[in-house]
Structure 1
Amino acid sequence: MALSHWYAGVLGACGLLLVGCQSSDFDLQLEQEAEGVTLLQLSSEGGFVLPAIPDDNPLTDAKITLGRYLFYDTRLSGNQTQSCESCHFQELAFTDGKVVPTGSTGDDLVRNSQTLTNVAYNGTYTWWNSIFTSIELQLAIPLTGDTPEELGINDANLTEVLDRFRNDEDYQTLFTDAFPSESDPFTLTNITYALASFTRTMVSDRSPYDNNELSDSARRGETLFFSEELECFHCHNGFNFSSSTITTNTRFPERPFFNTGLYNIDNQGSYPEDNTGKYQVTGDWNDMGAFRPPTLRNIELTAPYMHDGSMETLEEVLEFYADGGRNITSGEYSGDGRDNPYKSSFVSGFDLSDDDKTDLINFLHSLTDQEFISDERFSNPFE
């Protein structure tokens, strides 16, 4: 099956209609419970509810297990040089520690590798594209995208890629167990469903914050974080510290994108041509430089920061928000982001003492979940 037909099928299966680069209303069928699934585990301390699970891709332990193997297998890339793990290391909360990743064919991507922490709760996927409202849809980009290539599956090598798994005795068992009703379960759609199922189990809810084990400094930082003076919580709210969070209880999901004043090229409001945010989808200048706010959980582990990896430390990020944007004084991106006309009103700047900054950083560190980055459920099965 040609990839264009497969991609259209995934779009249809996920309940989306693409018209003029706009997404239709997405009716999440949220009545389903993950009964009998042991690999999706929520801690009593965190108090999370179940993530939204699509009706056409129900969770099963067999599907999750298959997805785990595929996630770490370099045979999933066209040239067998990279796996999903290549850009998502467990010890880094499933990021890669690079400014931007490099694909399997050597092409640099233009956006920073996002954490997979609590990815099941995202309202949208990718930094900038409001159309991708499910993990299944998003997976089309790393699997088959060609501008630039990541894993590099295409029409020319798809049959070969599928045969690598079809001809492997272990995968014959894994695919049959995951999709027992199908005569030929070796399809790209099923690979997508298995990977989505595995990543949905990556729930991080066992941090010091969840366990109510904050230091005095972190508690002061928590007060600052949720203050109207700093306004951090307007973009990073709820149990997942992201303003775009969906659970089994969500009926009217919000999917906001924000311009934070990172750029203002020539003081005309523009962002770099290959990184214009939601504007890239809508063509609306009000969306120029608007990106999805990521979860702050495990933020200590996911440097460098921002959509383009342009900030190395949390301290640098904090100074950026305290300034109300970034002023670039020379070079091709020169311009004062503090005056970007499309910047969110939540990024207005604030004053903090050195002690306040320390407290706020310590609060962010309290969101680090050491059990998550060592949990064997998410580890490399080939090791």
Structure 2
Amino acid sequence: MKIFWCGLLVVCALMMGSCQKAPEPYQWNIPEAFPKPFVPEDNPMTQAKVELGEKLFFDFRLSGNQVQACASCHIPQFAFSQPVAKSTGSTGGELKRNALALVNVAYNGTFNWAHNGLTQLESQIVLPLFNEEPIEMGATGNEAEILNRLGDYQAQFKQAFGSKEITFDRIVKALASYVRSLNFFDSAFDRYAYQMQDDALTEQQIEGLNLFFSEKFECFHCHGGFNFSQSSKHAFQTLDLVPFHNTGLYMEDELGSYANDDQGLADLTYRDQDRGKFRAPTLRNIALTAPYMHDGSVASLEEVIDLYVAGGRGRGINNPNKSIFVRGINATEEEKLALLSFLESLTDEAFISGKFSSAQSE
């Protein structure tokens, strides 16, 4: 009998060890009217992984020299963007482009300003960590040291991944899970359009909404759908839309080259017709993310509207690769103010309240 009970205890212990509590699934902060984002099969969303990713996002030890965190260039109160034209890497070098806002990026069809092959968030996160030209986080060559620094996260890694081993693959998956969780659908526009609150928008904002979706202004052609971007991927998206556009910012030669040796999509495709084409980002929380465009060369939303009203900027107005939807608009000052007011209605107050910056203050 003693042998029987001892054996039973061993079996129970083995069963308990092999049947660990399953990770708690992540509860999306997404209203029923919107689709859930696509998530890679090898990186399912869990609460533990999102919480770990949030900690890592604000941890300066993740950079090679411990002077920057992901949040240094993606600041919550600016819709996870940065209010400078171009960010600076951890070693002091200026980066090539403006830091994109991390707003509903779980729905992105592509990532980066101009990369038609970068279609998964996990792949995008690897770039700032390991880029060498220019250096961003500076993890290259410092991998072992960084992993050693993060040893105090072992309990969180065990909770998120089932073992305490800390690897860059798991770091990237945790960061991707956190960034995927940054979804916001409680702007004044959302309350008007989806929650049927007729008084959520002012008369001026409603006028701007109508202009935005009109054939006169044509904003919706590049910033369409519930996420206000053609670069989208979700169950409701049944058509393959064009996510990259030349908006007539520059024209350095007869080929339509852009300034500062940044040709956008053409740097990958080597096609002249792709010169100056960049991804149309979401307009959600756009009022928080100045300056604008891939190089941060447009300081305010008022200037953005003026640029499209003019059909481009300077010689760029005649760029041969310019989008057919950037052709100039015969707009009144009242119409421009109405459109600006509508764009401001796309702001979600959760950003301003600091709802998603708790880890930063710990």
- TM-score over 0.5 for the pair: yes
SS of alignment partner, residue 281 of structure 1: helix
How big is the shift at 1:375? Answer: 5.2
User: Is 2:165 the counterpart of 1:178?
Assistant: no
How big is the shift at 1:49? Answer: 1.3
SS of alignment partner, residue 211 of structure 1: helix
Aligned residues of 2:255 and 2:272 also touching (Cα < 8 A): no
Q: C-alpha distance in 2, partners of 1:185/1:231?
A: 51
Which residue does 1:159 correspond to in 2? 144
Which residue does 1:130 correspond to in 2? 116
Equivalent positions of 1:92-111 (< 5 A) are 92-111=78-97
Q: Which residue of 221, 227, 241 corresponds with 1:234?
A: 221
User: Is 2:65 the counterpart of 1:83?
Assistant: no
Q: C-alpha distance in 1, partners of 2:158/2:67?
A: 26
User: Is 2:308 the counterpart of 1:321?
Assistant: yes
Q: C-alpha distance in 1, partners of 2:275/2:256?
A: 8
How big is the shift at 1:265? Answer: 0.6
Q: C-alpha distance in 1, partners of 2:155/2:56?
A: 13
SS of alignment partner, residue 120 of structure 1: helix
Q: C-alpha distance in 1, partners of 2:308/2:183?
A: 28
Q: C-alpha distance in 1, partners of 2:158/2:237?
A: 33
Q: Which residue of 327, 352, 361 corresponds with 1:348?
A: 327
Q: C-alpha distance in 2, partners of 1:372/1:97?
A: 14
User: Is 2:175 the counterpart of 1:195?
Assistant: yes
Which residue does 1:37 correspond to in 2? 26
**Runs of 5+ unmatched residues, structure 2:** 1-22, 193-199
How big is the shift at 1:245? Answer: 1.0
Q: Deviations over 1:102-137 (max 9, x none)?
A: 010001011001000111111100001111101101
Counterpart code for 2:346: L
User: Is 2:99 the counterpart of 1:117?
Assistant: no
Please tell me the root mean square deviation across aligned C-alpha atoms, in Å: 1.6
**Runs of 5+ unmatched residues, structure 1:** 1-33, 328-335
SS of alignment partner, residue 371 of structure 1: helix
Which residue does 1:142 correspond to in 2? 128
Counterpart code for 1:134: Q
Q: Percent identity?
A: 46
SS of alignment partner, residue 339 of structure 2: helix
Q: C-alpha distance in 2, partners of 1:144/1:309?
A: 23
Q: C-alpha distance in 1, partners of 2:354/2:257?
A: 42
Would you identify which runs of 4 or more consecutive aligned residues in structure 1 move more than 4 Å?
249-253
User: Is 2:73 the counterpart of 1:73?
Assistant: no
**Larger radius of gyration between Structure 1 and Structure 2:** 2
User: Is 2:233 the counterpart of 1:246?
Assistant: yes
How big is the shift at 1:250? Answer: 4.2
The total of aligned residue pairs comes to: 333
